[in-house]
Each structure stands twice: as C-alpha cells, then as structure tokens.
C-alpha cells in the first residue's frame, strides 16, 4: 500500500468529483479533520490489506461528564498537530486556487442562473462574453460548469446528510442530552467517517442482553415432580429445573448480529470436565461457557467481552445494555481492559428494560419463538432425542443464531431499534421468524432433501429450502 498514491487519488476525487471547495478560512476543527485524515493515510503505509465495513455512527454533539475523557481525546490535537496540518493546508490551497475557492454559493448560483437562462425556443440567451462582462470575477468559461457541479453536489449532500435524531433522555442519562444519528449510505461513509472524528464521536451502536431459555413444561414436569416437595424445594433446585441455559446475543443498529452468541450451560459443578469438553460440539458462531445455575455471573461478563465482543468490533463502539448489576462495573469497559478499544457503555434505567432495549422489544422473542417451535415439534412428534443434552442445546443455539444472521432479517433487527424508540427510521415492512422460517405449510409439501418424505419443519432463511427436523437439526443445516 502506497500512501502517496492514496493521497493522489484523494486529490483527484476531491477536485473532480466531490467539488468540496471552501469559501471560508480554515477553522481549527477543519484542521483537526485534516490531521485525522493524514493519520489514517499514514497507517496505510503498514498494511497489506484494507477492509471497509459499513458503519452506522452515533454522533454526540453535547458531551456529558461521562464522556469528558473522550472529548479530551478528540480535541487535544489542536495544538500538537500544527506542523502536519500546515503541510496539508498549503497543498490544499494550491489545488483550490484553480478551482472555485473564493466564490460564495450565492454568487455561484447567480452566475449559473444568468448563464443558463434560456429563450422561448430553449436556447441559451447569453454568450460567455456577455456572462463574463457582467461577472468579471469569473476568469473563464469552464468555471460555469464547475459552479454548476458544485451547486448540484451541494444539494445532493444536503439531502443525503439528513440527520435522524434519537432522544437519549429515554435512557435516563443524566447528562448526554441529545444524540444525533447519522445513517450512512455505503458510498458516503468514507468521507463521513472523517466528519465523525471531528469533535464528534463516531462509533458502532450495539445492544446486548442475556436471555434465559427455560425448559418447557413437558420436560420440567418430569424433573420437578420427583420428590421435590419432600426436600423443601430449595431455591437452587427450583432454578435448576426452570432455567436451563442462558444466551447472550448482540445486535447492531444497522440490523446485524455482532460476533458469536454466548451460551452459558448449566453444569452442576459450575465447570465442564475435560472429558465433556473434548466431546463438545463447537460451532463457529457460539462461544460456550457454563455456570452452576446456567445464568451468567460477573466473571462471565468479562468472558463475553473478551470472546464475543472485542474480536467483533472496530476501534469504537457504543454499547447499550440493561442495569443487571454484573455488567455495571465500569472497569469492564476500560480501554485498558478492552484491547485499547473505546467502548462507551450506556445502561438502561432499572425496571424499564422491557420496553427500552431493542433486544427485549422484539428480537429476543423472535429467537425464543424459533427455539420453542423446534422443541414443540420434538414433543409433538415424539422424536426420540433429548433436546436438553449439552450438544443439542449448543446445536439449536448455533442454528437459531445462524438463521437470524440471514440478510432477510436485517430489517427485523432494525425494527427492534425502531420499536424501542432508539431509531427513527421505520424499516417496515419486514419479515419476522414466523413468516420466513415457519410459514403455514400445505400438506403436500415435503422436505427438500432427496428421498426424504418427512414433514417440513422449517424453511431456511438463507436458501429457502424446506427441511424436516432431521435434515435441519440433526444434520445441522448451517450457512457459513
Ligand atoms: Zn439453507
Ligand atoms: Zn428431510
């Protein structure tokens, strides 16, 4: 990667395509952006491969005390960066000299309107000479089309920069009064990302939550009826029969699942023996852990952070999670504990979780519904399989997470944010789990697999093929 080439291309782009011309003096903020741009280009020097990720950012215009350290981070470049800035600045001035710098937008509009005025037969009424006579500041004819381009670009940019607000007050935050949300289109994000570093903080917005999957009535009954009353049904044994495992998914504002899902199995001694570990089914999209209760503990929050979150995010993210005490310890999100990544965590106020958190509002129910559908089929058809065996739990969690990562569910995930009031973009219409995976099946439909005439259980959200329980679950129909 040669930074010089990148700079050359960037100059061409700015000059020819984007018409980003300044008509004012360079401000310290603008200088700061240039500095960030320069730093970014310099980093290309060392890398062999570059990947762009689509990123949706939350822009904080008003910073709370909580964000003070971040503000310091982003504004401290003002003083120590003047040298590199001056270099960029003089280059920029040189280029702008031959472009539209020095003309106000109003002036350009006036010139273009005058030059483009047509007569009744649709022909231009005025020659370049006439235009030049009236507007002497315009040195040659080529400037007319430059002005025209600039005005058009300006309009397009205003449109695509439409800012959606979200109201952070609902999150009960004391200080951050307002968060503005930019929904980027892929093509614009490159330049916009630099804008994002401009005193504003740009990052990914995520929501994560723990979901307990309880055993169904038909399976708990057999477990809890056997002598429980005699032993006074201690809290521990009660939990053991109703709370089989916990999963923790993470979703992003742009409608994706982020990273692998965490699965916490219930193991009586709180750990997996070596023999068990060796026989464990290990799918690529599930990080497996365990506890005695099957619920997450505070040490498992760090485990989730290190194994699910950090490997899956860029340098910055905004993490929304509920007020569950184990994840409230702010040191969990310290840069030093997060591989130097910036994680800003926002906690939902207590007791309001169920309607404020995107996962709770919609996504989790979809996931649970999927799992329930599978369990019900097993129960109804009396399929001889123990769904609460470790490897079957792992398998079903892997399959549901895999199905939910199908592109068709992106709108549904975005809807979760919309429904909780955290995004103002309504993604409806969208398809949910029932519509995509479990549409009403007509009696003549059979499993897509050759020579299988079993009843259809599920329509795959990726390939739209229909599968019976055996071909979907037992044979593990997974899309990479
Ligand atoms: Zn498929
Ligand atoms: Zn089949």
The fraction of the chain above a pLDDT of 70, given in percent, is 68
- For the segment 34-62, the average pLDDT, to the nearest whole number, is 60
Contact (CB, 8 A) for 425 and 164:
yes
- For the segment 200-215, the average pLDDT, to the nearest whole number, is 72
CA distances from residue 111 to 101, 130, 133 in whole angstroms, order as listed: 15, 11, 11
To the nearest whole number, what is the mean pLDDT of the chain?
73
Contact (CB, 8 A) for 478 and 405:
no
Ligand of minimum distance to the alpha carbon of 449: 2
pLDDT at 96 over 70: no
Contact (CB, 8 A) for 425 and 165:
no
249-308 pLDDT, tens digit each? 999 988 999 999 999 999 888 888 898 899 999 999 999 999 998 888 888 999 999 999
pLDDT for the residue 31: 79
Ligand of minimum distance to the alpha carbon of 463: 1
CA of 462 to the centre of ligand 1 (A): 5
pLDDT at 339 over 90: yes
223-265 pLDDT, tens digit each? 333 333 332 322 223 333 444 899 999 999 889 999 999 999 9
Contact (CB, 8 A) for 347 and 329:
no
Ligand of minimum distance to the alpha carbon of 448: 2
Read off the tokens for 451. 């020579």
Of 212 and 35, more confident:
212
**Cα–Cα distance between 189 and 36 in angstroms, integer?**
15
Contact (CB, 8 A) for 334 and 340:
no
Q: Which of 338, 270, 334 is nearest to 304 (CA)?
A: 338
DSSP codes joined into one string, 104-136: -HHHHHHHHHHHH-B-TTS-B---HHHHHHH-T
- For the segment 2-30, the average pLDDT, to the nearest whole number, is 74
CA of 167 to the centre of ligand 1 (A): 39
pLDDT for the residue 263: 96
pLDDT for the residue 40: 72
Q: Which of 15, 58, 25 is nearest to 343 (CA)?
A: 58
CA of 341 to the centre of ligand 2 (A): 46
Strand order in the sheet with 163-166: 57-60, 179-182, 163-166
Ligand of minimum distance to the alpha carbon of 472: 2
pLDDT at 121 over 70: yes
**Cα–Cα distance between 180 and 202 in angstroms, integer?**
11
**Cα–Cα distance between 422 and 168 in angstroms, integer?**
8
Contact (CB, 8 A) for 361 and 416:
yes
Least confident stretch, 96-100, 111-115, 236-240, 439-443: 236-240
pLDDT for the residue 337: 93
pLDDT for the residue 20: 63
CA of 424 to the centre of ligand 1 (A): 32
**Cα–Cα distance between 306 and 399 in angstroms, integer?**
23
pLDDT for the residue 90: 43
Q: Cα angle at 178 between 155 and 174, to 5 degrees?
A: 175
Residues with Cβ–ion distance below 5 A, ligand 2: 447, 449, 452, 454, 468, 471
CA of 221 to the centre of ligand 2 (A): 30
Per-residue confidence at 51, pLDDT binned at 50, 70, 90?
low
CA of 468 to the centre of ligand 1 (A): 12
Read off the tokens for 437. 């995976």
Q: Which residue has the tokens 């630099």?
A: 194
Per-residue confidence at 442, pLDDT binned at 50, 70, 90?
low
pLDDT at 427 over 60: yes
Contact (CB, 8 A) for 108 and 151:
yes
**Cα–Cα distance between 250 and 310 in angstroms, integer?**
12
Ligand of minimum distance to the alpha carbon of 455: 2
Ligand of minimum distance to the alpha carbon of 473: 2
pLDDT at 165 over 80: no
Contact (CB, 8 A) for 250 and 365:
no
CA distances from residue 145 to 30, 128, 138, 175 in whole angstroms, order as listed: 27, 12, 12, 48
Domain ranges in the chain are 3-202, 206-474
CA of 464 to the centre of ligand 1 (A): 6
CA of 466 to the centre of ligand 1 (A): 8
CA of 475 to the centre of ligand 2 (A): 9
**Cα–Cα distance between 295 and 324 in angstroms, integer?**
12
For 424: left if phi > 0, alpha if psi spans -120 to 50, otherwise beta; the answer is alpha
CA of 415 to the centre of ligand 1 (A): 24
Round the CA-based radius of gyration of the chain to a whole number and report it.
Answer: 29
Read off the tokens for 335. 């840069």
């Amino acid at each position: 990667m040669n930074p010089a080439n990148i700079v050359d291309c960037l100059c061409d782009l700015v000059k020819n395509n984007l018409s980003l011309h300044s008509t004012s003096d360079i401000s310290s903020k603008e200088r700061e952006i240039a500095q960030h741009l320069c730093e970014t280009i310099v980093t290309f020097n060392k890398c062999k491969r570059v990947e762009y990720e689509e990123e949706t950012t939350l822009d904080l215009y008003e910073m709370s005390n909580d964000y003070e350290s971040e503000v310091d981070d982003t504004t401290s470049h003002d003083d120590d960066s003047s040298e590199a800035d001056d270099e960029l600045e003089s280059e920029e001035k040189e280029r702008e000299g031959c472009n539209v710098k020095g003309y106000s937008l109003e002036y350009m509009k006036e010139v273009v309107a005058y030059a483009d005025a047509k007569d009744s037969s649709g022909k231009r009424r005025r020659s370049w000479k006439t235009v030049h006579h009236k507007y002497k500041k315009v040195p040659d004819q080529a400037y007319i089309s430059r002005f025209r381009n600039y005005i058009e670009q300006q309009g397009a940019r205003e449109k695509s920069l439409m800012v959606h607000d979200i109201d952070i007050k609902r999150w009960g935050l004391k200080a951050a009064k307002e968060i503005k949300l930019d929904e980027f289109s892929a093509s614009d994000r490159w330049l916009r990302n630099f804008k994002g570093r401009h005193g504003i903080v740009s990052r990914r917005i995520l929501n994560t939550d723990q979901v307990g999957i309880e055993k169904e009535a038909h399976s708990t009954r057999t477990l809890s009826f056997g002598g429980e009353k005699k032993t006074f049904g201690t809290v521990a044994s009660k939990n053991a029969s109703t709370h089989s495992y916990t999963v923790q998914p993470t979703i992003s504002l742009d409608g994706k699942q982020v990273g692998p899902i965490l699965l916490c199995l219930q193991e009586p001694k709180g750990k997996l023996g070596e023999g068990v570990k060796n026989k464990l089914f290990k799918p690529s999209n599930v990080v497996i852990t365990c506890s005695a209760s099957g619920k997450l503990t505070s040490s498992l929050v760090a485990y989730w952070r290190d194994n699910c979150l950090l490997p899956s995010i860029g340098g910055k993210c905004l993490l929304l999670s509920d007020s569950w005490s184990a994840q409230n310890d702010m040191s969990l999100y310290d840069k030093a504990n997060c591989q130097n990544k910036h994680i800003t965590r926002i906690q939902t106020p207590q007791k309001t979780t169920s309607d404020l958190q995107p996962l709770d509002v919609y996504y989790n129910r979809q996931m649970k519904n999927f799992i329930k559908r599978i369990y019900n089929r097993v129960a109804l058809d009396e399929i001889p399989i123990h769904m609460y065996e470790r490897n079957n739990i792992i398998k079903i969690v892997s399959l549901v997470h895999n199905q939910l990562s199908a592109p068709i569910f992106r709108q549904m995930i975005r809807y979760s944010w919309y429904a909780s009031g955290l995004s103002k973009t309504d993604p409806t219409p969208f398809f949910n789990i029932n519509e995509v995976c479990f549409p009403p099946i007509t009696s003549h439909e059979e499993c897509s697999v050759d020579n299988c005439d079993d009843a259809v259980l599920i329509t795959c959200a990726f390939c739209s093929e229909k599968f019976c329980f055996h071909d979907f679950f037992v044979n593990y129909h997974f899309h990479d």
